[in-house]
Structure 1
Amino acid sequence: MKALADGNRLRILRLLMDRPRCVCELQAALGIAQPTVSKHLSILEEAGGVDKQRQGKNFIFYQLIEGLAPEDHRTALLSLLSHWLLEDPELAALSRLAQDLNPQEILKKTGSPQSGLCRECGAEITQNER
């Protein structure tokens, strides 16, 4: 329950309901510092609601854990929470705002892999440009 006691963690869960996201996408959508986003993701991961997957050499995307057993308490909690997260107008607006965010778009807006991108995405994009 501690994992759900923070507004930013609830916002992160809402954004992850749309699709897996990297730290820099969450950072750009929420307007909070990268270490803060990473800390929130760590708490959600420890609680068993979020996991991460590597795509490519450096990209790390966070996603909601799916396929939990029906008797698992997290299943019931996430199900109840998802209805509220989907219906909340403020969270729906945040989801629309973040709809087109991705590391490449963030790079276009900031102009530098060191500005606005998480370390993994900046390294991947820089490596792909070589």
Structure 2
Amino acid sequence: MGKLQRKTRGFLSFMAWNFEPGNSELTRAVPYPLTSATLLRVVAISRLVFKYMLHIQSSWLTNGLEAAQLALKFGADDFGRTLYEEMVIPATGLQMPLITREYLRELISRLGFKPAERDNWYRVVVMYD
């Protein structure tokens, strides 16, 4: 992947997701969810392995708020976003929480990071103190 990324600069980010058994056909092969510890290892290793990948996302929606906060300390630089009309998560049978921008900014700030809003190309649109 490093060679392809250097050549195309086509990958903007990597996002590690926990596997959630339930409505997925993969449940037969992996009948149990992976732990947050597994997720944090994947985030930390991806920061080292994907050296040409500029952004590692910690998705609060798929990984949970606490695991997503920890992932920031393990090398992720993107906390995810507020979502509306998201269809992937409900398809797994999981409930999707409704979280505000203000709450996400507070969670990021508590860790000592400066929250920012970005566009789809990872350009900062708003920086918060």
Structure-2-length-normalised TM-score: 0.25
Query: Which structure has more helix as a fraction of its residues?
Result: 1
Structure-1-length-normalised TM-score: 0.25
